[in-house]
Amino acid sequence: MTTEQYNTCVEWYSDGVYRFILKNIKDENKAKDIVQDSFEKLWIQASKILFEKSKSYLFSTAYHTMIDLIRKEKKISEVENKPELSYTNAYTGINEILNEALQKLPDIQRSVILLRDYEGYTYNEIAEITDLSESQVKVYIYRGRMALKKYIGSIEAII
């Protein structure tokens, strides 16, 4: 990858990576740090990484850095032990409800759904980024969608 291609990556993908991380951890400073760290790693490895693979590399690096951070802060939660979605806040729009529902999802489900929705990654690409199998990605997306739909449906029923 050339310097020009690297800079193109900055222009094209930094916003996407930032949004993806920010949506997951809800902390602007940490999200910035993760993005900078990911691009620094890309720059170091620039001579070895093809431009075509750079987006996947960036998201994968950012994702794993984020997971490490979450683990450090002991915020990671087991999928099975995740409590039932609850709804107590007052909402003004579907996006707020959806954001609230997303935050209540297990980290892995939230990540795969965001990768799918924000970046339009295929199951296989998400599997590569997250180090999961394609089947696991499908299952997590299915469970995540079901949980989101249940949450949104319940809120709408109340409203």
Cβ atoms of 136 and 109 within 8 Å: the answer is no
Residues 74-133 that bind another protein (CB under 8 A): 94-95, 98, 101-102, 113-114, 116-118
Residue type, 29: N
Contact with another protein (CB under 8 A): which of 16, 76, 87, 136?
16
CB of 26 to another protein, least distance (A): 12
CB of 17 to another protein, least distance (A): 7
CB of 85 to another protein, least distance (A): 12
Two tokens, residue 145: 């969608």
∠ CA 96-97-101, nearest 5°, is 115
Tokens 């795969």 found at: 112
Any contact of residue 148 with another protein (CB under 8 A)?
yes
Contact with another protein (CB under 8 A): which of 26, 44, 79, 86?
44
Cβ atoms of 1 and 49 within 8 Å: the answer is yes
Any contact of residue 43 with another protein (CB under 8 A)?
yes
Percentage helix, strand, coil, to 5, in the chain? 75, 0, 25
Distance between CA atoms of residues 70 and 118, nearest Å: 21
CB atoms within 10 A of CB 102: 19
- Residues found near another protein in the complex (CB under 8 A): 1-3, 6-7, 10-11, 14-19, 22-23, 32, 35-36, 39, 43-44, 46-47, 94-95, 98, 101-102, 113-114, 116-118, 141-142, 144-146, 148-149, 152-153, 156
